[in-house]
Structure 1
């Protein structure tokens, strides 16, 4: 289990935008180097633009569900006012067989908390969809119903998309990218489950594109 919680306060410093990344193994980048997860690659991409991003503060642990992430946010006593906040959470709710209505309620609370951490600025919050682990070698070896996994991932994503859009926040769908791993194993880490740095690079590129559009529109 990897826990990452770097300690940057929630205000812009030295002309750089502050970034908070919330999630689980997909946010810390389980099974890849720490500088190759999607938050770090996003920061690297932004370094070539007119907006510089500080090293991300990452609060995430492999295996966390929505409720566990909420508890960690409470414990971290985060300061409001982050310029950019990303949220990617829910795969472990699905993996553990938790029901959709509980996920909806907990995800909605996380969205409201995330928006607060962004100082109430909707343009600062970016929700990322849950990847589909049902197409990975790990899933095939698990003996679970692969079609059911994918169907349930779609159902959880339908919930988080709706809740995100109801609040007028940005939603980035990386699930189709994750499904490319079925025929391209270079998109997976050596553990046969988590994304490789190559897949994270694709996610970081999508995030950077959306963030840049929002920042430029606000000028």
Structure 2
């Protein structure tokens, strides 16, 4: 599975619309759609009486911030969404791209996300970049896992600073992602991407702030 762009449900007055922006971590590479974090988030919120529509997902495995910007422009979107999530940057780090460029492009993506949320920054939720160095793939990549961790932390410092500056909620799932080095059940079959179990942990971390906003 390389790309998933799922159109939103037909609008209903009792449903909140949801746009998920990102890369393979938003698609749920290597897991079923229902195990991805956007779908698990929808299921959890629905159980909490937040009636969330099927998410529209704009994401492709391997995308950087710049590629996500271009990808959004190429897709058909609704004028407004009630909820927007953004998780992007691991491929900037993986490719050794400039962190200064990442900051500029992430700022643009935040503005785009806020625009999708009808100008309401409180309805945008940024998720930190997980540490792929903690996975079996990372251990076998030939790269120093401590260096990977430091670089991931540096990119996350940028996305956290910019998100909070813009008045956007920020959820840090990175420390939990590092438990993959000792718990194989947190990693999908490819040895790199998160399993449904790890995505559930992300949802458990993310959902309280969303519930607080919408209840």
TM range (shorter): over 0.9
Secondary structure at the aligned position of 1:85 is classed as strand
Match of 2:97 in 1: 98
Work out the CA distance in 2 between the residues paired with 1:12 and 1:153. 38
The offset of 1:77, in angstroms, is: 3.8
The offset of 1:131, in angstroms, is: 0.1
TM-score (norm 2): 0.97
The offset of 1:12, in angstroms, is: 5.5
Match of 2:74 in 1: 75
Match of 2:46 in 1: 47
Secondary structure at the aligned position of 2:6 is classed as coil
Work out the CA distance in 2 between the residues paired with 1:118 and 1:52. 17
Work out the CA distance in 2 between the residues paired with 1:142 and 1:180. 18
Match of 2:86 in 1: 87
Match of 2:60 in 1: 61
Mapping 1:69-218, distance limit 5 Å: 69-216=68-215
Match of 2:13 in 1: 14
The offset of 1:205, in angstroms, is: 1.6
Give the RMSD, CA atoms, in angstroms.
Answer: 1.2
Secondary structure at the aligned position of 1:72 is classed as helix
Work out the CA distance in 2 between the residues paired with 1:191 and 1:94. 20
Work out the CA distance in 2 between the residues paired with 1:122 and 1:72. 21
Deviation per CA, 1:44-101: give whole Å up to 9, x if none. Answer: 1011112110000011110000000000100114223100000000000000000110
TM-score (norm 1): 0.95
Deviation per CA, 1:93-128: give whole Å up to 9, x if none. Answer: 000000110000000000000000010011210000
Work out the CA distance in 2 between the residues paired with 1:13 and 1:177. 36
Deviation per CA, 1:124-170: give whole Å up to 9, x if none. Answer: 10000000011111011111111110000000000000000111110
**Structure 1 unpaired stretches of 5+:** none
Work out the CA distance in 1 between the residues paired with 2:49 and 2:31. 28
